[in-house]
Amino acid sequence: MASESHFQKLLVSVDGSPYSVQAEELAANLAKNFSSKVTLLHVVPHEIRHQQPHYYDNIPGNLREELESSYVQKGSLVVQQAKALFDQEGVKAETILEEFADPAETIVQVAKEKKSDAVILGNRGTSEVKEFALGGVAEKVVRYADCPVLIVKKKTSFSKILVAVDGSKLSQKALRYAAELGQKYGGQLTLLNVAQTMLPQVRAETVKSVGERIVSEAESQVKDVKVDKKVELGHPAKMILDFAKKGNYDLIALGSRGLSPVSRVFLGSVSDHVARQSECTVLIVR
């Protein structure tokens, strides 16, 4: 595996919610282990200004300014509290507060500007306007960020890591990220290939043998980490989720694109579904 760390620059989206705090704790731990440079980003959502125009536009200018100022002050407090958490862990962190912007677009843009190795965010967050669920901010970031996205859910450890492998380049990249985490945290990797039999003339045994070659090749790329190999037949997203849940995994790592049995396709349906439905933390690699 490559010796250069894949976690040198971390962008952490913070919003003050319990889910965000979990993401901050994990990011601080990662930063300590990998000596990462950390940027904490909070975005005051632009919806505050654009919701219900017929109501908002009728608010007197001075009251509108006071209302907007209160949102900015709360955002500033969120950033300060997040930085205090990192300070307590002995991790230096730069802070950015963006006012009245689109959260997902801003996260993606800042990640690009900072050349971040990974974006870290909670599974769900709250704003003064509405709750952001995956399908909103997080899903947009997963779809459009140039770098991998780590969606933090329940656990913050990396003892058991499930890597979905299919032989594609992004699958191999996800494996490199996962292997580095396994090496650093002393975790165990399970390499899972989900074989599909979409063509009736292709026997399941044939498809499964291809999967076995894929996981064996992936295993050969991993050093200094305990590895298990599994090949299953079925729908990729469902099998990955079921396998992760039954095995009580801490992390699922997979590429955002992969190989279908017929041709290379965009696996948004798989990665999105896994990110949305997984009970454990998910790393989507682009």
Residue 169: pLDDT over 70: yes
State residue 273's pLDDT score.
87
Using the predicted structure, report yes or no on whether residue 201 has a pLDDT greater than 80: no
Mean per-residue pLDDT, 177-205: 86
Looking at residue 66, its pLDDT comes to 78
In this predicted model, which residue has the larger pLDDT, 226 or 203? 226
Closest CA to 249 of 158, 167, 125, 121: 158
Q: Name the CATH topology of 9-152.
A: Rossmann fold (3.40.50)
Backbone angles phi and psi of 96, in degrees to 5: -135, 130
Any idea what the Cα angle at residue 189 is, between residues 205 and 286, rounded to 5°?
85
- Residue 50, pLDDT score: 53
Q: Model confidence at 154, in pLDDT bands (50, 70, 90)?
A: confident
Domain ranges within the chain, ordered by starting residue? 9-152, 160-285
**Average of pLDDT values for 200-223?**
87
- How confident is residue 47, by pLDDT bands cut at 50, 70 and 90? low
pLDDT bracket for residue 56 (50, 70, 90): low
Asked whether residue 97 carries a pLDDT value surpassing 70, the answer given is yes
What integer pLDDT is reported at residue 101 of this predicted model? 92
* DSSP strands (E only) in the chain: 9-13, 37-45, 93-101, 118-122, 125-126, 131-132, 149-152, 160-164, 188-195, 226-233, 251-255, 257-259, 264-266, 281-285
* Per-state percent for the chain, helix, strand, coil, to nearest 5: 45, 25, 30
pLDDT score at 71: 87
pLDDT the model gives residue 62: 67
- Please name the CATH architecture into which domain 160-285 falls: 3-Layer(aba) Sandwich (3.40)
Opening angle at CA 261, ends 279 and 196, nearest 5: 50
> How much is the CA Rg of the chain, to the nearest whole Å?
20
DSSP letter, residue 76? H
For 186, other C-beta atoms within 10 Å of its C-beta total 11
Confidence of residue 258 (pLDDT cuts 50, 70, 90): low
Mean pLDDT for the chain overall: 86
The model's pTM = 0.87
Residue range 67-96, pLDDT digits in tens: 788 889 999 999 999 999 999 999 999 999
Query: Is there a common fold for 9-152 and 160-285?
Result: yes
Read off the pLDDT of each residue in 115-123 and give the average, rounded to a whole number: 95
Residue 264's pLDDT is: 35
The whole-number average pLDDT for the span 117-135 is 63
Dihedral sign for Cα atoms in the order 183, 185, 186, 190: negative
pLDDT digits (tens, 9 = 90+) for 29-39: 999 999 999 99
Residue 131: pLDDT over 50: no
**Using an 8 Å Cβ cutoff, are 237 and 274 in contact?**
yes
pLDDT tops 50 at residue 263? no
Q: Look-up: residue for tokens 């306007």?
A: 129
Q: Is the pLDDT of residue 234 over 60?
A: yes
- Comparing 171 with 272, the larger pLDDT belongs to 171
More confident residue, 257 or 201: 257
